[in-house]
Amino acid sequence: MRLKFSLATAWLKMPVVFTLLADFTGAWAADWPQLQRDAARSGYQAGETLATNRHTNSNPAGYGSPVWIWNQPEPLSGQPVVAQGTVAVGTVRGRVFALDERTGMVRWTADAGAPVFATLAIAEGKVIVPTQRGELLALSVQDGSRIWTYRGARKGYAASPAVEGGRVYLGSKDGRFHAVDLATGQAAWVFEVGGASDAGAEPAPILASAAVLDGRVFFGAENLYAYALNASTGARLWRRRLEGQSFSWLWPVASRQAGGVVIFRTTPVYSHGRMLIDDERFLQQTTGVSDATDNNGTPQQWLNEQRAISQRLRNNPHRRSLWVLRATDGQDRYSAPEPVLWTSGSGDAGAPPVVDDAGGRAWMTARSAWARFDGFGVRPFGDLMRVNLNFDPNVYNDGISIESRLFLQYFNCASPYSGCKEAWEDFHKISDEFEVLTGASNGIVSSNWVSVGGVDLSSHRTFNIRFYSTDDTGGAGLYGTHVGAVLANGRAVLRDTAGLKSYATPQ
């Protein structure tokens, strides 16, 4: 205990030294310091083990009462970030709040000078803040004092910063992409979409956040090009025109799996309702399944459905909303389109996947007539599924070892209810509502406007962290649908319309 206390005391004076010690020993290693935890936007927290034996009908329900509650004084923005004992979040009125991770007490408040719409980042004793004035701020994590200000953007930032290798990477609404030195706040390089080094592309804003992995920076601009830049120099490595109308405010996910890939999702060009209804009819015609079935399908039926979806997207490219691209050159990783139909809410892009590179695993939302977790009678066929990034499209022709070779792989039927359908139990899953996925070593968590819950990766049973309302029209404080559960240091930190809540993982 004396050693732990001395380390904690030293951290107050030497945050960088403590971070190095934490990385070496594994203690306090489960921070969540930026959007989706890391610069690759994996959304995966290997250092956390979730309690998966809690349900909406357990006693207490879910994870019980919060350890602390902080009711916001003004509307919050972005995903809360957790590092160095601090929870940091910005507001649309232009303030930054830093809370004590253990107690939820406000440590300090800083004026950012303009609205903050994005997720912050914490790194090397600094809180990184992008503002709508086009300034990028570095504030002291200790007291909120300003360390440096970068003014290289002509317009504001909708994107969240990615911090990697001593640099901050993010795009601005003027179509410029910035690499900023974390120590000094000076530009290492700036790349301009449609500029002199990007001939042939239309100038366009950058709204989506970037992913950084293995010396490459990946982002999407609103000209619907996906880009890869050299992280050291800013030189363009490749660009690839995709389909859709926007990358929205989301992010690509970079992974070392399958030889190195980057995964993009876009908002389709078709209307929200029309897209969902047309795809439902397509699935029903393809499989002969209505939205009321409890039939979970067979490997051959799964193959038939995914092959039909892939062919539909090949024949109708404007319906495609997901791409798995080779990180090296931006070309399709597979010889056939991924069999993923769009599912989301409010016309956004679909939820980005979660990836666990060390374990060779990935998960995402998709649609299937054989869905395990769809809601009855609203917009059916929405599912949370495992993803095989080593997908082999030849399985469509030879039909050998189907389950291990398909792109989308199902969770087992582990529900004690009728068939496999969880409906509105531990987590809310219907196709016309947006959600954000995050994950830990033993569970994937789905967060949307009604509930925060997930699936145990071993037993395939669902579990619940927080259920907000039995009235899904909004009878209780709603969860922040565009945020995602932050899993850090034995806690789940959630953002809802009232503020922040921190739940201890039950033992």
Report the CATH number at residue 215.
2.130.10.10
pLDDT of 440 higher than 50 = yes
How many domains does one find in the chain? 1
Strand ranges, E, within 287-348:
322-326
Q: CA nearest 410: which of 442, 445, 368?
A: 368
What is the reported pLDDT for 419? 56
Q: Is residue 337 part of a domain?
A: yes
What is the reported pLDDT for 2? 29
What is the reported pLDDT for 26? 35
The secondary structure of 46-83 as a DSSP string is TT-----S--TTSSSSTT-S-SEEEE-SS-EEEEEEEE
What is the reported pLDDT for 470? 55
Q: Is residue 111 part of a domain?
A: yes
Site of tokens 């529900």: 415
Model confidence at 16, in pLDDT bands (50, 70, 90)? very low
Q: CA nearest 116: which of 128, 99, 102?
A: 128
Of 2 and 273, which is predicted with more confidence? 273
What is the reported pLDDT for 21? 35
Q: Is residue 116 part of a domain?
A: yes
Compute the distance between CA of residue 83 and CA of residue 66 in angstroms, rounded to an integer: 19
Q: CA nearest 166: which of 153, 176, 180, 178?
A: 180
What is the reported pLDDT for 23? 36
pLDDT of 22 higher than 60 = no
Compute the distance between CA of residue 349 and CA of residue 485 in angstroms, rounded to an integer: 19
pLDDT digits (tens, 9 = 90+) for 180-225: 999 999 999 999 999 999 999 999 999 999 999 999 999 999 999 9
Domain boundaries, position 332: 31-504
Handedness of CA 414, 416, 418, 421 (dihedral sign): negative
pLDDT digits (tens, 9 = 90+) for 235-254: 999 999 999 999 988 999 99
Q: Is residue 350 part of a domain?
A: yes
Residue 254, C-beta contacts closer than 8 angstroms, at least 6 positions apart: 40, 41, 211, 212, 213, 214, 216, 218, 261, 262, 263, 327
Structure tokens at 257: 């799996």
Cβ neighbours, 10 Å, residue 267: 21
H/E element holding 405?
Answer: helix 402-405
From residue 196, alpha-carbon distances to 200, 201, 222, 236, 327 in Å are 9, 10, 18, 11, 24
Model confidence at 261, in pLDDT bands (50, 70, 90)? very high
Asked whether the whole model's pTM tops 0.85, one would answer yes
Average pLDDT of the residues of the chain: 89
